[in-house]
Structure 1
Amino acid sequence: MRKPQTVAALTELGRVQLSRSFFMRDFLYSDIAAVHGLSNVPDDPDLAIAAGTRLCEELLEPLQDAFGRIAIRSAYRSAEVNALGHSKNYNCAPNERNYAYHIWDRRDAKGHMGAAASIVVPSFASRFDQPGDWKRLAWWIHDNLPYATMEFFPVRWAFNLGWHEHPARAIMSHVPNDRGLLTKPGMAGHDDDHRAEWEGILPA
């Protein structure tokens, strides 16, 4: 598929179904693009679709099956949108670090495919709002889903959830008093069963 250059072509891209519940259109909105008049459209739609499909099928669908509707805050960024976001200090990493992450239609330096979305799980955030509660959701995902990376933030426990061909299996936090790595391969407890941390968080 070529990069869309018309409304009709972009409409067709948006109609691509990535999984049972998610369409490409769900991931194309960008606050940065909206404010600065940019087009948040993939240069390589086929790669973006392939990476986004894996993200949706392997992570977002099972997460939604377990917790109910998830809210997508930010997901795909074009290289142009991400570069502007980085230059204006909008909490966007440089493009090279976002390839195969928020920039779905570019492979990383090693040629690997990946995709990420920033999401909120409303059913969790509304019930667990005490310091450190984000770890309960992090450990559930760690024990149950084939994630590549997670990166948590303090507001409503929003987090970046990433799929990657070669998953790092690392969890990072930007939450005050919990900043830094929660786990990565080689750290104590990484391969343990963490049921005691997350038991009881699933909606009734």
Structure 2
Amino acid sequence: MRAPKTVASLEELGRVRLSPNFFLRDFLHSEIAQMHGLRNVPDDLDLAIAAGKALCKNLLEPLQERFGRISIRSSYRSPEVNRFGNENGLNCATNEKNYAHHIWDRRDAAGRMGATACIVVNRFIPYYERTGDWEAMAWWVHDHLPYSAMEFYPRYAAFNLNWREEPLRRISSMIPPRRGVLTKPGMGNWEGRHEAAYAGMLEELGK
């Protein structure tokens, strides 16, 4: 596909269906781009679409099927937008670190394709706000879905959810007091099942 150069072609790009419930347009909004007049459209459309389809098929669709509607807080960033965010302290890692993450249309240094969306599981919000237990959702995803990385944030337990070829399967958090790494390969809690960690969540949300 060619990069859009008109409003009509951008509208058509937004209509690309990544999965039964998600279109590419759902992932292109950026507050940084909107406020600073930057272009947030992939250059390599074929790679971005392939990565987005994998993200939706493997992670977002099964998560939404299990827990109901997912809200996308942020997702795709063009290299231009991400670089501006990094250089101006807007919570963006360097472009190189975001290849195959928020920058869908670039492979990472090892040549792997990937894509990230920062999401909120709407139905999970009341449980999280009452208990502070973000780990329940983290462990459920860990046990059930082929993610590569998750990072959780305090507001609504929003989290970056990354799909990538050759997944790492690492969970971290910015939520006090449990900030840092929850699990990663080599840690004692990484292997096996973790039903006890999310049993209360499932009971409250309904199995």
TM category (shorter chain) comes to over 0.9
Q: How does 1:123-202 map to 2 (within 5 A)?
A: 123-130=123-130, 132-202=132-202
- Separation in 2 of the partners of 1:43 and 1:54? 18
The answer to whether the Cα contact below 8 Å between 1:121 and 1:158 also exists between their aligned partners in 2 is yes
- Separation in 1 of the partners of 2:177 and 2:201? 22
- Separation in 2 of the partners of 1:102 and 1:191? 27
The answer to whether the Cα contact below 8 Å between 1:132 and 1:178 also exists between their aligned partners in 2 is no
Cα displacement string for residues 92-145 of structure 1 (whole angstroms, at most 9, x for unaligned residues): 000000000000000011111000000011100122225640000000000000
Q: Which residue of 1 aligns with 2:66?
A: 66
Residue type at the aligned position of 1:12? E
- Separation in 2 of the partners of 1:178 and 1:124? 19
- Separation in 2 of the partners of 1:154 and 1:36? 26
- 3-state SS, counterpart of residue 111 of structure 1: coil
- 3-state SS, counterpart of residue 65 of structure 1: helix
Q: Would you say how many aligned residue pairs link Structure 1 and Structure 2?
A: 204
- Separation in 2 of the partners of 1:200 and 1:145? 19
Residue type at the aligned position of 1:141? V
The answer to whether the Cα contact below 8 Å between 2:99 and 2:106 also exists between their aligned partners in 1 is yes
TM-score by length of 1: 0.97
The answer to whether the Cα contact below 8 Å between 1:76 and 1:117 also exists between their aligned partners in 2 is yes
- 3-state SS, counterpart of residue 127 of structure 2: coil
Residue type at the aligned position of 1:2? R
- 3-state SS, counterpart of residue 8 of structure 1: helix
Q: Which residue of 1 aligns with 2:93?
A: 93
- Separation in 2 of the partners of 1:176 and 1:18? 35
Q: How big is the shift at 1:184?
A: 0.5
Residue type at the aligned position of 2:14? G
- Separation in 1 of the partners of 2:195 and 2:12? 43
- 3-state SS, counterpart of residue 93 of structure 1: coil
- Separation in 1 of the partners of 2:84 and 2:183? 31
Q: Which residue of 2 aligns with 1:28?
A: 28
TM-score by length of 2: 0.96
- 3-state SS, counterpart of residue 107 of structure 1: coil
The answer to whether the Cα contact below 8 Å between 2:151 and 2:173 also exists between their aligned partners in 1 is yes
| Percentage identity across paired residues of the two chains | 60
Q: Which residue of 1 aligns with 2:120?
A: 120
Gap runs ≥5 in structure 2? none
Q: Which residue of 1 aligns with 2:19?
A: 19
Gap runs ≥5 in structure 1? none
- 3-state SS, counterpart of residue 9 of structure 2: helix
Residue type at the aligned position of 1:39? R
- Separation in 1 of the partners of 2:65 and 2:131? 26
Residue 57, structure 1, aligned to residue 51, structure 2: no
Q: How big is the shift at 1:192?
A: 1.8
- Separation in 1 of the partners of 2:201 and 2:18? 27
Give the aligned CA root-mean-square deviation in angstroms. Answer: 1.0
The structure where helix makes up a greater share of residues is 2
- 3-state SS, counterpart of residue 140 of structure 2: helix
